[in-house]
Structure formats: C-alpha cells, structure tokens
Amino acid sequence: MMVKVVVNGIGTIGKRVAEAVKKQEDMELYGLSDVSAGQGLITLLSPEGELHGTDLYASNRKGLEQLQEDEMHVEGLLEDQMDEVDIVVDATPAGVDEMNKENLYEPHDVKAIFQGGAADDIAEVKFNADANYEKARGEDFVKVVSCNTTSLSRTINAVDEAFGVDEAVASLVRRAGDIPQDGRGPVNSTIPVTDVPSHHGPDVQAVMPDLEIKTLAVKVPVTYGHVHMVNAELEEDISEEDVLEAFENQPRVNLIEADEGFDSTGKVHEKMRDLGRKRADMQEAGVWKETVTVDDETVYWIHMVHQESIVVPENVDAIRSMFDMEDKETSIAKTNKSMGIT
C-alpha cells in the first residue's frame, strides 16, 4: 500500500515531517500546503532544497492570493486535492488545525494527524509509537503528543514495560524558544508554571492511562532543548545496569555520556552536528547515562529533548498505524532506518 500524504503547515515540525515522509518506501509525499511563503518553505522548494519539485497548494483562498503575491508557484487549493490524498499531517498553529478539521478533512472524509499544540479534543487518540501504537489503528484523527510528552512516554514506558512503574515525578526545564524564534528574546528570566501538575502529566496519562505521574515545569532562556529530571517508583528492586539495559533496548532513546565530554545540551547539539545530523536534529530522547541511579525501588535519571525533531518519527509511525500497514516494531524500525536514527 502506498499512502498519499500532504503536509499542511511548513514550519518547524511540518518541514521535517515532509522530508521524513519523502524517505518512506510505502508513502508518497503528494504535496505541501501553506498560506504564505515563509523562509523554510522558500528554502525547501528552491532548486537546492530537499523538497524541490514537490507540488505546493494553498490551504485556503486567502493563502492562494498571498502565495501568488509571494511569487510562489502554486498548483491550486488544498481543498481541490482532498479526493486525491489519503491523509494530511496538519502542522498548522493551534486553532487553525481545528478549522481545517471542520472545513476540510471531515467533509472530504480524509484522515489527519495533529500536533502536540492542538486542543485535547481534536482527536480521541493521543499517540506515541512506543507506548500505544495499536490505539491508532483504523482511526481517522490522531494527535501526536508534544515533544515533552513524547520523551516522557518513551523513557517511562521503557522502564514500565521492563519492571513496572507505580508512580513517577518529573521536573521539566523548558527552552524559551526555538532557534529561529528570535521574537521571543532576548530574555533574562526563569518562568515557573504555577499550576501543579503542569499539563505534561495529564498529557502523558492520555498515552499511558494507568500511570500515576506528577510534573512540574519552568521555562528558561535557552533555545536548544528541554531537560527533564525524573524519578520513578518501581514495583521491584532492580540495579542501575537493569535500567540502562531497558533504555538501550528502546529504539528511540540515546544514552549520552557526560564523561566523554557531552555534559550539556550545547555539547550534545555539537555532537549531532559532527555526526552529520541534518539541522543537528536528535530525534531520540537523550538520557545522560551517569544520572541513572537506583535507590531501593526508586530510579532517577535526567534526559534532554530536542523539541524541534523528537516528534517527527512519531508522525510517520502514526500514518502506518492509522492505515493498519505494519506492526509497531516493523514500523519503528522502518522509520528509524530511513531517518538515520541509531
């Protein structure tokens, strides 16, 4: 089966998902859709861009006028292509995605995937490939959870499947903005989320409903990555080696060694650049190996999250689940191989 995919909204997530879809042997990147010519869209469709030659559609009539004014070659309206495509990955801003669902996807009976910033009620299934891949089978609408929720689901689920987790507490140190979001700075403050738990705990429970978890969060003036400090109460006594083995067996967890010099998010960022990762992306959750500590039935660890890329492979796996194309292990392996996730 070859699934025809449109990516609507070519921003931080959308452009990465479009590139990932293009690499899949069982998917066709039918086209891109947007309402204006942002710098990312212009670059991707330029002769040097990775998506050069991909058809561009306008998400609505006002967007068609704007794209034409921006001197972009537009094939027409996305609405006119709804009978030709199988699914839309919607990476548009919160609120816009709801209008797209109501005005485009539902009337034309087209499946859609939404991102972590979307409203909770936009889709019944909140998706993480490792924790609940089967839940998306046959669904018309799925929400891929946020970058923070993705990392917590991956790491905690790895420990939960191996040993059983009774309760978890996570403290999140969140970046203030992505690298190109210069409108958010300069800043010189740490901003606490004064609601406890922060929304991340309930978001994880949407993926892992049997998990008892509390989260606290602050925002700090950095751009590359979030950092989470987690402690989990387990159902049995284990060793640190047991936990490390559980993380090593998780195909989207990367063990980082501070003793090798990678003792900050910036140095991990540089490592990804040296490895040739495009945009220095790290789609894995990066657990600092030295932080994994066991005290009786409690395990502690610290991990980092590259907020711009960690959810990208989840979108690809969600497509396969929604169309009942592969089992979890096969889909994750295919996606990882195509994207160079090791």
The predicted pLDDT at position 179 comes to 66
Report whether 57 contacts 76 (CB < 8 A): yes
Q: pLDDT (tens digit, 9 = 90+) per residue, 11-24?
A: 999 999 999 999 99
Please state whether the peptide bond connecting residue 197 to the residue before it is cis, i.e. omega within 30 degrees of 0.
yes
Pairing of strands 87-90, 76-77: unpaired
Distance CA 71, CA 342 (A): 40
Q: In the chain, what percentage of residues exceed pLDDT 90? A: 92
The predicted pLDDT at position 106 comes to 98
Residue 54 predicted with pLDDT over 90: yes
Q: pLDDT (tens digit, 9 = 90+) per residue, 237-276?
A: 999 999 999 999 999 999 999 999 999 999 999 999 999 9
Which of 189-198, 243-252, 313-322 is least confident? 189-198
Tell me the H-state helices in the chain. 12-22, 39-45, 61-69, 96-100, 129-132, 147-163, 200-207, 240-248, 265-274, 312-322, 328-339
Chain centroid to Cα 94, Å, comes to: 15
Q: pLDDT (tens digit, 9 = 90+) per residue, 121-176?
A: 999 999 999 999 999 999 999 999 999 999 999 999 999 999 999 999 999 999 77
The predicted pLDDT at position 176 comes to 73
Catalogue all structural domains in the chain, each as residue range(s) with its CATH number. 3-144+311-339 (3.40.50.720), 147-305 (3.30.360.10)
Report whether 60 contacts 35 (CB < 8 A): yes
DSSP 287-340: EEGGG-EEETTEEEEEEEE-TTTTTHHHHHHHHHHHTT-S-HHHHHHHHHHHHT
Residue 177 predicted with pLDDT over 80: no
Catalytic residue among 147, 227, 232, 243: 147
The predicted pLDDT at position 102 comes to 98
β-bridge mates for residue 219, sequence order: 174, 191
Please compute the mean of the pLDDT values over residues 56-78 and round it to a whole number: 97
Distance CA 291, CA 304 (A): 12
The predicted pLDDT at position 188 comes to 79
User: What mean pLDDT is reported for the chain?
Assistant: 96
The predicted pLDDT at position 178 comes to 67
Whole-prediction pTM:
0.95
Please compute the mean of the pLDDT values over residues 281-309 and round it to a whole number: 97
Q: For residue 171, give both structure tokens.
A: 């403290």
Cα 211–Cα 282–Cα 333 angle in degrees, nearest 5: 70
Higher-confidence position of 219 and 113: 113
The predicted pLDDT at position 285 comes to 98
The predicted pLDDT at position 186 comes to 61
147 is catalytic: yes
Compute, in degrees rounded to 10, the torsion defined by CA atoms 313, 314, 319, 324: 110
Q: How would residue 223 be classed by pLDDT, with cut points 50, 70 and 90? A: confident
The predicted pLDDT at position 185 comes to 61
DSSP 13-32: HHHHHHHHHHT-TTEEEEEE
Which of 40-44, 71-75, 185-189 is least confident? 185-189
> How many C-beta neighbours within 10 Å does residue 173 have?
20
Residue 181 predicted with pLDDT over 80: no
Distance CA 248, CA 148 (A): 20
Report whether 304 contacts 227 (CB < 8 A): yes
